[in-house]
Chains A and B, each alone.
Chain A
């Protein structure tokens, strides 16, 4: 009976964890109703003493009736009895609910279908919990279905479950366990020895109770222990993770950051970049995503993602790897891959301000290639792609400064580079085997006559922008295998995504490593800042040339008939001689340093960033990163220090006691000094006695509670075969303690430092070395003191609990 109700409560509290998945509150009440229906069925089963297998069937039936009433009352007979049409209605609702769930991302709107699915799911969980806890009597196992319910939001959402909700759910489960324990013990009879007794002498509570008045089992003590353990466990579960340092993804442990599947914790969730791109472009009104300024006042493409894998359907992203040493705060980022010494470098500082409204972006929009970033929080760079991302922070609302070292290759330089084997990951060249042969054919046709890879790349870009007859339209849908073929060979209509992906594919076909960048174009100038809006979302291919690195290309038509703010890079212009910087600013070009002689920075260590005084207003923070070994060392040292705390405490205590042992006994001149001396001698005796007690405890020969000083001295002398000196010393101490504790006048007491030392040496001689080392490093006496402290705390709790009990007892009596 009680278990059934507790099962229902536990199921419902676990269901509360689902709250972040929904937009409204209907599901809550519907699920509550479903749980109530299951509980009612469970109560009936208990009352009728149905066999264990029948109870879940009854529960299912009750759930069915409830769902019929709630969702298909109109089609049911007399509202309650399910009919064929009501069943069909429920099935239809389930179908639409399923579709809705596929369609929407959390938090989902509460359609009837989704609510039905939720209520049904919660009811099934409640039935399982009831079966396990109340029928099979395995309450602990009932945690599994509850856990399954709790993992639903955890797997769908990136955010961790909020702790108050977790506490509520955990309390539900604990109450289930407690009531199971009560029920179980209630069948045995009186619980024995569960309550801590202060000593063996104190009367047991049952004895002092009026004789025989309590026939029922006394489970108060058990309940108390259960509650204590449960609450302590919940408290630990909530507090401990907060206190622990978060797991750092360390590259040599070979787990990168997160998956696309995305769960809570340290992984990052990447909403499908392409879908979000299309979504942003489709938005009816333009919203500002970010604004930026830079020191040469030139718009630049801001890249967020670099998609490197092509599966025949679409481009996707390999999990970025953020090693701790590649934190932005650790100084310069890894060098841009493939960048040699030949191209001119332009250093640009860009200050970016991201809008507050940008939801769930964990990558920084950055001009390529970023060299150094000044940003708050734990942001890390992926070595291969230089994407900068975080597992904890979100980009919304932050401000940062980025230093980029932009290569400015000339067309002639790019032509001269031909022949160098691209030294990149083969994944940038990988294509699916089932790629239609027409596309490969097209690639060959387009690049026919190109002498170098660079020429081939330029021809490809020209194919899209000029010769191919492509038109720009946002209407196009899809990006599958056939979509690629359709786009390239048939309708030649699409938007940046198709252009970028197609060019990347064609580039791979002719042997140029490529990837698809997703981000924003440079935007438009508003006042003194560049403003980037949702309609500036863009996608473009990046092609790799050994010696220069990754270079953006722009196959998408720009201007009014295309992507408004797209710009064709300078080096891809057919005639490099006609530099038209003033008329067409390009992402790769800067006016400030275009004609400067060879940049000396290019000859330096590629990891070192050239800090030009004019470019950087101030020094970026120096590299204060700490090697991993040092971090581990510091951690180990801290751990060691923590472990040595008991030893330290012990040493301090011992020193204090020894100091109070060494008092000098002067001949007392008058009564007052005599009394003072005697009180000091008492302190000294107490110190010696306490110290002896601790030494004994540390060496594992602890004094028994009923052992008098005299008996202790006798035991030690006999058991450890003390020589005469040690025996006299221990007898001395015992006798002094005895007199101080029990005599009317303790009389004259000699300092006991020497006696104590002698006894300690005699004891140490009889113990093993390991024991002695342990007594020094991890003294059990200090641990005992800690335990006593804990017990005192528990006594306090007991006191509180007793006050409560006494009050209820008084109420019962009145």
Chain B
């Protein structure tokens, strides 16, 4: 009687690999399985992740744990107010021996780039990331250098009310597939953290559990997840709803629709499903859409956060209900 609910063979490997990575990360970050799961989702959706929270909750730890558990080049950039764009992308330096300008690649030339406290840098520097995030390439002195796949930027930022921060411009925020808040750990998780982190850093013990090639294969598998017309329509409905909501000054962009569906694919694949269901979109709508939205003055006056607006929209937009033929 039970409905067959087997994982399709092409996703078998994906599920197990993803599981390994998750376990590796969770050995470092306790009690944050949602954030970890979202991080993986974004990785498989070829997106970038923005981790926003107050200092000291493990933002950097999450980013580094992910980077460690995959055997791939990882670079870390500490954003400061005096950081220059060339510090990120790289510079052309004159080589005395060859008497030519030679490109010295910056830290973005890696598979995973951890941008710590990204909103401490000036907007000029922040925008140096624009091209590489979207187009996976760097243009310096008129020459374009492609980046390796997979390429993922994991940026952490402090809430913009904090001192010494430059808020990310809308265009920059739009390039992040999802934003996740860590939140304070549960008391028991904090206790465990004290025990584990008391002596040595567990990060040091973390061994890579997946290779770049494996991750690339995973990404390829995610691309094959089926999205029915009904679900695509539902994604569009959700995004369009943000554009017409009276509570929002700025709705979500078409790019966000694309990223929402991509993330939903990864989300479905992580549960071993080879098709997307509206639940995937509902689960991802807040992390994928909320950070791109600007509340209207009225909503600000009522202290309505974009997250709440999106929650309302999810409740209002009807799910696709095409009658099965």
**Is the A/B pair a real complex?**
yes
Interface residues of A (CB under 8 A from B): 199-203, 207, 679, 682-683, 685-686, 689-690, 704-708, 710-711, 728, 731-732, 735-744, 747-750, 754-755
Q: Would you call A201 and B240 a contact (CB within 8 A)? A: yes
Q: Would you call B325 and A738 a contact (CB within 8 A)? A: no
Contact of A744 among B226, B314, B324 (CB under 8 A): B226
- In angstroms, Cα B6 to Cα A747, docked, is 11
Q: Would you call A744 and B319 a contact (CB within 8 A)? A: no
Contact of B323 among A200, A686, A755 (CB under 8 A): A686
- In angstroms, Cα B244 to Cα A207, docked, is 9
Specify the chain B residue showing the minimal Cβ separation from A693. B321
Contacts of B321 in A (CB 8 A): 741
Q: Would you call A201 and B316 a contact (CB within 8 A)? A: yes
Sample (12) of A-B pairs whose CB atoms are under 8 Å apart: A199-B317, A686-B323, A689-B324, A705-B317, A706-B317, A708-B278, A708-B319, A728-B1, A742-B230, A742-B277, A744-B275, A750-B3
Specify the chain A residue showing the minimal Cβ separation from B226. A744
Contacts of A685 in B (CB 8 A): 324
Specify the chain A residue showing the minimal Cβ separation from B275. A743
Interface string of B275-289 (1 = CB under 8 A from A): 111110010000000
A203-B244, A710-B277 known; A705+B4 contact, CB < 8 A? no
B197 smallest CB distance to A (angstroms): 36
- In angstroms, Cα B219 to Cα A615, docked, is 106
Specify the chain B residue showing the minimal Cβ separation from A690. B323
Q: Would you call A705 and B231 a contact (CB within 8 A)? A: no
Q: Would you call B3 and A741 a contact (CB within 8 A)? A: no
Interface residues of B (CB under 8 A from A): 1-5, 226, 228, 230-231, 237, 240-241, 244, 274-279, 282, 314-325
A706-B317, A706-B319, A748-B4 known; A742+B324 contact, CB < 8 A? no
- Please give 6 more A-B residue pairs, beta carbons under 8 A apart, in addition to A705-B319, A735-B3: A201-B240, A201-B317, A682-B324, A708-B282, A744-B226, A750-B1
Contacts of B318 in A (CB 8 A): 199, 705-706
Contact of A741 among B1, B4, B230, B317 (CB under 8 A): B230
B92 smallest CB distance to A (angstroms): 49
Q: Would you call A679 and B4 a contact (CB within 8 A)? A: no
Contacts of B316 in A (CB 8 A): 199-201, 705-706
Q: Would you call B1 and A704 a contact (CB within 8 A)? A: no
Q: Would you call B325 and A679 a contact (CB within 8 A)? A: yes
- In angstroms, Cα B132 to Cα A256, docked, is 96
- In angstroms, Cα B324 to Cα A683, docked, is 6
Count of A-B residue pairs with CB < 8 Å: 88
- In angstroms, Cα B317 to Cα A658, docked, is 30
Contacts of B241 in A (CB 8 A): 200-201
Contacts of B276 in A (CB 8 A): 742
If over half of A's interface residues share one DSSP class (helix, strand or loop), that class is named, otherwise mixed; here it is helix
A742-B231, A747-B4, A750-B1 known; A708+B279 contact, CB < 8 A? yes
- In angstroms, Cα B320 to Cα A689, docked, is 13
Contacts of A744 in B (CB 8 A): 226, 228, 274-275
Q: Would you call A741 and B282 a contact (CB within 8 A)? A: no
Q: Would you call B315 and A708 a contact (CB within 8 A)? A: no
Q: Would you call A708 and B244 a contact (CB within 8 A)? A: no
- In angstroms, Cα B123 to Cα A299, docked, is 120
Q: Would you call B3 and A686 a contact (CB within 8 A)? A: no
- In angstroms, Cα B275 to Cα A202, docked, is 28
B281 smallest CB distance to A (angstroms): 9
Q: Would you call B244 and A710 a contact (CB within 8 A)? A: no
Contacts of A690 in B (CB 8 A): 323
Contacts of A747 in B (CB 8 A): 4
- In angstroms, Cα B268 to Cα A708, docked, is 15
Q: Would you call A743 and B228 a contact (CB within 8 A)? A: yes
- In angstroms, Cα B274 to Cα A672, docked, is 24
Specify the chain B residue showing the minimal Cβ separation from A208. B244
Contacts of A201 in B (CB 8 A): 237, 240-241, 244, 316-317
Task: Give the one of B237, B316, B321 with max A CB within 10 A.
Answer: B321
Contacts of B324 in A (CB 8 A): 682-683, 685-686, 689, 737, 740-741
Contacts of B2 in A (CB 8 A): 728, 732
- In angstroms, Cα B275 to Cα A286, docked, is 98
A227 smallest CB distance to B (angstroms): 28
Contacts of A707 in B (CB 8 A): 319
Task: Give the one of B4, B240, B278, B324 with max A CB within 10 A.
Answer: B324
Specify the chain B residue showing the minimal Cβ separation from A710. B279
A201-B317, A707-B319, A742-B276 known; A732+B230 contact, CB < 8 A? no
A705-B318, A706-B315 known; A742+B3 contact, CB < 8 A? no
- In angstroms, Cα B240 to Cα A683, docked, is 32
Q: Would you call B3 and A732 a contact (CB within 8 A)? A: yes
- In angstroms, Cα B324 to Cα A690, docked, is 10
Contacts of B3 in A (CB 8 A): 731-732, 735-736, 749-750
Task: Give the one of A708, A738, A754 with max B CB within 10 A.
Answer: A708
